[in-house]
């Protein structure tokens, strides 16, 4: 009886979760212009600024993620003479949020379509975490679209490399169950739960400013934001890079924070062994998002890499 009462209370709480309209019309990145592009029947939202050789920034994958991740990087790169595109992946930010299971193939196809249809010329890909694994695959499969790779805490060797088998679909279906879905949604928008998971991404609790917390909360409260989270936790977005990374030939930059996190800098070993020519940079006092927590140091490293490989 007590268990039933708790479950009923959680369902009521989840049903009362307020839904917001979305990110809003104003740019998240200072000085950027908000735009969108078709992706089949769906839409890719993005922000663009600057002029020069193209640099495409793809945010990491986690509940509430968006182009917000690059607010401290994109303007600096644009000011240095590059045209910067920061796009929201399906399920995030201003992009479409399909009420279904999204897979690694969907996100790879979305970014590939964006490179072909919006950028229109070979570009540098800057990507974080699981999105970095997808970027590696794109660089291997479509080298004509990618001039260089700047990868922030990439996954795909030791983590987030589960095979895309029936287990992924069954796990997603479990989360998509109406009862489980409502319970999980209630947890996603709980302030303490959000803070708990963000502390795995940021090394310093001081990095969880009101601005950061508000951005993640707003994105998680957007209607249908839950489906991409279910896709992520079910492993449907996982990408094994063990076959793709050694096949890439583009200049590559690897950046990790040295603080403990879900994707530890110890993961760098496989990446460096497979491609010893790649530039490896470790930044102290940062975890999964060194581009945010050590933005000045990251920007200096990224601009040096761009000037050597693109100019």
Among the residue ranges 32-41, 136-145, 207-216, the one predicted with the least confidence is: 207-216
217 within 8 A of 194, measured Cβ to Cβ: yes
Q: Is the pLDDT of residue 161 over 60?
A: yes
Q: What is the pLDDT of residue 20?
A: 43
Q: What is the pLDDT of residue 260?
A: 73
Higher per-residue pLDDT: 16 or 295? 295
Q: Which residues of 175-213 are buried (b: 16+ CB within 10 A; e: fewer)?
A: bbeeeebbbbbbebbeeeebeeebeebbbeeebbeeebe
Average pLDDT, the chain: 88
Domain ranges of the chain: 35-309
For the stretch 267-298, pLDDT in tens is 789 999 999 999 999 999 998 999 999 999 99
Q: What is the pLDDT of residue 9?
A: 34
For the stretch 238-254, pLDDT in tens is 999 999 999 999 999 99
146 within 8 A of 122, measured Cβ to Cβ: yes
179 within 8 A of 186, measured Cβ to Cβ: no
Q: Is the pLDDT of residue 11 over 60?
A: no
185 within 8 A of 60, measured Cβ to Cβ: no
Higher per-residue pLDDT: 45 or 204? 45
Rounded to 5 degrees, what are φ and ψ at 148? -160, 160
Q: What is the pLDDT of residue 261?
A: 62
| Reported pTM | 0.90
For the stretch 197-236, pLDDT in tens is 787 788 888 888 889 888 888 888 888 888 999 999 999 9
Classify domain 35-309 by CATH number: 3.40.50.1820
Among the residue ranges 3-12, 203-212, 283-292, 300-309, the one predicted with the least confidence is: 3-12
- What is the DSSP annotation of the chain? -HHHHHHHHHHHHHHT---B--S-SS-SSTT-EEEEEEETTEEEEEEEE--SSEEEEE---STT--GGGGTTTHHHHHHTT-EEEEEPPTTSTTS---SS---HHHHHHHHHHHIIIII-S-EEEEEETHHHHHHHHHHHH-TTTEEEEEEES--SSSSS----SHHHHHHHHHHHSHHHHHHHHHHHT-HHHHHHHHHHH-S-GGG--HHHHHHHHHHHTBTTTHHHHHHHHTTTT----TTTGGG--S-EEEEEE-S--SS-GGGHHHHHHH-TTSEEEEESS-SS-HHHHTHHHHHHHHHHHHHHHT-
């Amino acid at each position: 009886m007590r268990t039933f009462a708790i479950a009923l209370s959680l369902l009521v709480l989840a049903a009362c979760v307020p839904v917001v309209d979305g990110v809003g019309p104003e740019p998240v990145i200072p000085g950027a212009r908000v735009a969108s592009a078709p992706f089949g029947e769906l839409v890719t939202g993005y922000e663009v600024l600057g002029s020069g050789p193209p640099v495409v920034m793809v945010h990491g994958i986690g509940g509430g993620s968006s182009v917000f991740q690059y607010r401290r990087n994109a303007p600096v790169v644009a000011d240095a003479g590059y045209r910067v595109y920061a796009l929201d992946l399906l399920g995030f930010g201003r992009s479409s949020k399909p009420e279904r299971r999204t897979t690694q193939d969907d996100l790879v196809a979305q970014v590939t379509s964006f490179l072909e249809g919006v950028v229109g010329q070979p570009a540098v890909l800057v990507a974080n975490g699981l999105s970095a694994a997808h970027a590696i695959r794109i660089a291997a499969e479509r080298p004509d679209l990618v001039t260089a790779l700047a990868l922030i805490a990439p996954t795909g060797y030791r983590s987030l490399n589960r095979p895309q088998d029936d287990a992924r679909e069954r796990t997603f279906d479990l989360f998509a169950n109406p009862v489980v879905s409502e319970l999980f949604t209630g947890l996603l928008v709980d302030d303490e739960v959000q803070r708990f998971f963000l502390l795995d991404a940021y090394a310093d609790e001081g990095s969880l400013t009101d601005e950061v917390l508000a951005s993640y909360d707003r994105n998680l409260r957007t209607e249908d934001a839950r489906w991409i989270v279910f896709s992520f936790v079910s492993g449907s977005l996982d990408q094994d890079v063990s076959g793709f990374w050694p096949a890439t030939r583009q200049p590559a930059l690897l950046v990790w924070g040295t603080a403990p996190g879900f994707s530890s800098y110890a993961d760098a070993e496989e990446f460096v062994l497979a491609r010893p020519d790649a530039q490896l940079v470790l930044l102290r006092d940062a975890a999964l998002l060194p581009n945010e927590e050590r933005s000045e140091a990251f920007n200096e490293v990224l601009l040096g890499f761009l000037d050597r490989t693109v100019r």
